[in-house]
A and B are shown apart, each in its own frame.
Chain A
Amino acid sequence: GAGVSQTPSNKVTEKGKYVELRCDPISGHTALYWYRQSLGQGPEFLIYFQGTGAADDSGLPNDRFFAVRPEGSVSTLKIQRTERGDSAVYLCASSPDPGGGYTFGSGTRLTVV
């Protein structure tokens, strides 16, 4: 696609529920990144994919968070047993190669009530 697409743009869920956030990167971009941003702060790294594999998942805060990219394009970030502290904007970026410049999507605003 022309840009990075993230869906949904907004998600409100109840505490304890499971959510999935989707990222559709720019066609041909092999590197895909997930970040989380809280109000007034910079993006916090979560996970980086190179192709289909998670090259670095050191930013995932705990085992409730998981991400996949089965065919090397679309990625899904999955959060189990959501907590109010998970509320944030989840940002996805793609890059033509590792170390190339990021192009970000518009983000998914997750609110856990």
Chain B
Amino acid sequence: KQEVTQIPAALSVPEGENLVLNCSFTDSAIYNLQWFRQDPGKGLTSLLLIQSSQREQTSGRLNASLDKSSGRSTLYIAASQPGDSATYLCAVISDMRFGAGTRLTVKP
């Protein structure tokens, strides 16, 4: 059974810092992986979808990479802003499994 882990569970950084969020999975035979953002009391907003044939995807200040052989994906956020404060979740779509998320706080 696929297990998805996100470390750290919470992260606090000053505004302007570049940061990396980690997602690891136990079964490397995945088809695709998706990163989401969730604001308190809200639903999940898709950020980036990486297909298994891709190594990375970029959208604005966000870059997600996928290394199937090592069972890892990372979400890089450049020049963080207070508006980036939210919980970030990764999901192995082909296995329908989510991590527990990393709660990010960006301090002004």
What residues on A are CB-neighbors of B46 within 8 Å?
A: 101-104
Range, interface on chain B: 20 to 34
What residues on A are CB-neighbors of B97 within 8 Å?
A: 45
What residues on A are CB-neighbors of B6 within 8 Å?
A: 42
Q: Is the interface of B mostly helix, strand, loop or mixed?
A: strand
Interface residues of B in 1-32 (CB under 8 A from A): 4, 6, 31-32
What residues on B are CB-neighbors of A106 within 8 Å?
A: 42-43
CB distance B100 to A107 under 8 Å? Answer: no
CB distance A42 to B96 under 8 Å? Answer: no
Q: Is B34 an interface residue (CB 8 A)?
A: yes
CB distance B49 to A101 under 8 Å? Answer: yes
Q: Is B89 an interface residue (CB 8 A)?
A: yes
Among A40, A91, A99, A103, which residue has its beta carbon within 8 angstroms of that of B32? A99
CB distance B43 to A33 under 8 Å? Answer: no
CB distance A42 to B101 under 8 Å? Answer: yes
Q: Is B58 an interface residue (CB 8 A)?
A: no
What residues on B are CB-neighbors of A33 within 8 Å?
A: 96
What residues on B are CB-neighbors of A41 within 8 Å?
A: 100-101
What residues on A are CB-neighbors of B91 within 8 Å?
A: 43, 102
CB distance from B49 to the nearest CB of A (A): 4
A31 to B55, CA, bound (A): 25
* Known A42-B99, A45-B97: A99·B44 in contact at CB below 8 Å: no
CB distance B96 to A48 under 8 Å? Answer: yes
CB distance from A4 to the nearest CB of B (A): 9
Residues on B facing A (Cβ under 8 Å): 4, 6, 31-32, 34, 36, 42-46, 49, 89, 91, 93-94, 96-101
Could you list 5 examples of A-B contacts with CB < 8 Å?
A91-B43, A100-B93, A101-B49, A102-B44, A104-B45
